[in-house]
Chain A
């Protein structure tokens, strides 16, 4: 029983990271119809910078904030390259993000090398109803929950958030009420970058980061996002948490080697089912 609680909380912590990556994907896709394959790179860059800053003596909090800021900036740059030119089709933009994701590898290796990096998070072991788990997982959950609450508030209770939602719903009508759709796309990329960066700095203390960590993040994040057809943030959140828990349970009771496969199988199943129903995923694939 205590094992189960331990796996569940650990799974939620890992899942929170997936959920952050997934909602970044959803935020970008909803507004721009671009599947952003550079999403994992935001997390890696943010984590690398945070590690360097901490190594240079910058205190916790500030270093992580620096990482998230770099994630947001990278998001803005990727957005500017991918959708900056008016009339770029979402398909073309997708390929651009894929290219930029690979380019990020080169930049990361050039600056930080190819060795894994990590830094200490919240030290110690927490005791939850008899289950012992790394205390840092609780921090991940404690930070992610208010971030999602903030996002919900932003998208429904602010003019800018509503403008983003309006672009997601009907770009043509959004322009008519004075919304600059391209600028909203750049804002969505920036938000996606910050969310990806947050995922990176939060999870690095429990699962080191290497230049190619983005693969696991993007696979899991995409699997979570695709559950809601890439357009439903709440389902992406739930999907991320579910994936985290499923993987921890699979690792805990089965064996540690199959974590990414769990996500891949889920993702493929969902995509095949949705393609048969010609949902938004089928539209993207065209």
Chain B
């Protein structure tokens, strides 16, 4: 699926969180969006996922504008989302969580569930099968019948990924999937994402951790203060003086990009990230 973001702006209380951002992610591409705290990454993510509508500009999936569609209609078009926060369904098992993910692809309504029992059984079995495969793939097979709220943070994130995969997304949006994970978990996640890319899925990865995306992404878009300041292959972006300046500040002498830019640049809260995670 091709994602086209064209001249998108969104302001909060008169302050632009995202300003005139354009980017095109080609089908099958793994694109990373990086930037310091408050660069507008999360706002851009929400504008693509449908949690926010842009003030101006357009978001298109395979050429069809979707910027005015609510999140659930975008999901029905094949957008799968994994949030940084543990947005799983508590009170349901991990397996049920993932089965809910199939909702976007299911067309069996109440009546067919209630009346056409054989057809419903077949679809139920199929969904269950698919959900178990997704759990297996994300390393959660052992957790299948445990309540979602009992899973540790890393597994909660994996559960969201399994849930998204069960909806057979053609565009996968990942919001800082590596944050808070231990080294081994991070490694596992990187392998998993590389595998998804190899399947030809289009992936947009918003990430704070620059080192994590350098080896995964086909191309990287760098945001700062709500604008795109650089875009290109990882090696190009790494060498770009504007990127180095944005991450380290204009007076920095060190030319190496640190993996944790928040430590270098004061993480002053800007209105850009407000309201993104209501």
Contact A177 B163 (CB under 8 A): yes
Contact B124 A173 (CB under 8 A): no
Contact B75 A177 (CB under 8 A): yes
Contact A181 B102 (CB under 8 A): no
- Per the bound structure, the CA–CA distance linking A157 and B99 in Å amounts to 10
B109 contacts the other chain (Cβ, under 8 Å)? yes
The 8 Å CB contact of B104, one of A156, A165, A168, A177, is A177
The 8 Å CB contact of B100, one of A163, A172, A187, is A163
- Per the bound structure, the CA–CA distance linking A268 and B156 in Å amounts to 38
B132 contacts which chain A residues (CB < 8 A)? Answer: none
Contact A162 B113 (CB under 8 A): no
B250 contacts the other chain (Cβ, under 8 Å)? no
Which residue from chain A places its CB closest to the CB of B111 in the assembled complex? A160
Interface string of A154-197 (1 = CB under 8 A from B): 10111111110110111011111111110000010000000000
* B125-148 residues at the A interface, CB under 8 angstroms: 127
Interface string of B65-95 (1 = CB under 8 A from A): 0000011110110000101000111111000
Known: A154-B113, A163-B100. A175 touches B75 (CB 8 A): yes
Main secondary structure of the interface of B (DSSP, over half): helix
B226 contacts the other chain (Cβ, under 8 Å)? no
Main secondary structure of the interface of A (DSSP, over half): helix
B242 contacts the other chain (Cβ, under 8 Å)? no
The 8 Å CB contact of A160, one of B72, B81, B109, B167, is B109
B73 contacts which chain A residues (CB < 8 A)? Answer: 178
Contact A157 B81 (CB under 8 A): no
Q: Tell which of B75, B90, B108, B278 has the most Cβ of chain A within 10 Å.
A: B75
Contact B87 A159 (CB under 8 A): no
| Nearest CB in chain B: distance from A20 CB, A | 18
The 8 Å CB contact of A166, one of B71, B92, B110, B278, is B92
- Per the bound structure, the CA–CA distance linking A181 and B75 in Å amounts to 13
A159 contacts which chain B residues (CB < 8 A)? Answer: 99, 102-103, 106, 108, 113, 123-124, 127
| Nearest CB in chain A: distance from B106 CB, A | 5
B127 contacts which chain A residues (CB < 8 A)? Answer: 159
Contact B72 A181 (CB under 8 A): yes
B96 contacts the other chain (Cβ, under 8 Å)? yes
Contact B87 A170 (CB under 8 A): yes
A168 contacts which chain B residues (CB < 8 A)? Answer: 91
A162 contacts which chain B residues (CB < 8 A)? Answer: 92, 96, 99-100, 103
A163 contacts which chain B residues (CB < 8 A)? Answer: 100, 103
Q: A175-B70, A175-B71 are in contact. List 19 more A-B contacts (CB 8 A).
A: A158-B110, A158-B120, A159-B124, A162-B96, A163-B103, A169-B89, A169-B90, A170-B90, A172-B278, A173-B83, A173-B87, A174-B89, A175-B50, A175-B72, A176-B71, A176-B75, A177-B72, A177-B167, A180-B72
Q: List 21 A-B contacts (CB under 8 A).
A: A154-B113, A156-B96, A159-B106, A159-B123, A159-B124, A160-B108, A160-B110, A162-B96, A162-B103, A163-B100, A165-B96, A166-B92, A166-B100, A168-B91, A169-B89, A170-B87, A170-B89, A176-B71, A177-B104, A179-B72, A179-B103
- Chain B residues with CB under 8 Å of chain A are 49-51, 70-73, 75-76, 81, 83, 87-92, 96, 99-104, 106, 108-110, 113-114, 120, 123-124, 127, 160, 163-164, 167, 278
3 closest Cβ pairs, A-B complex: A178-B104, A178-B75, A169-B89
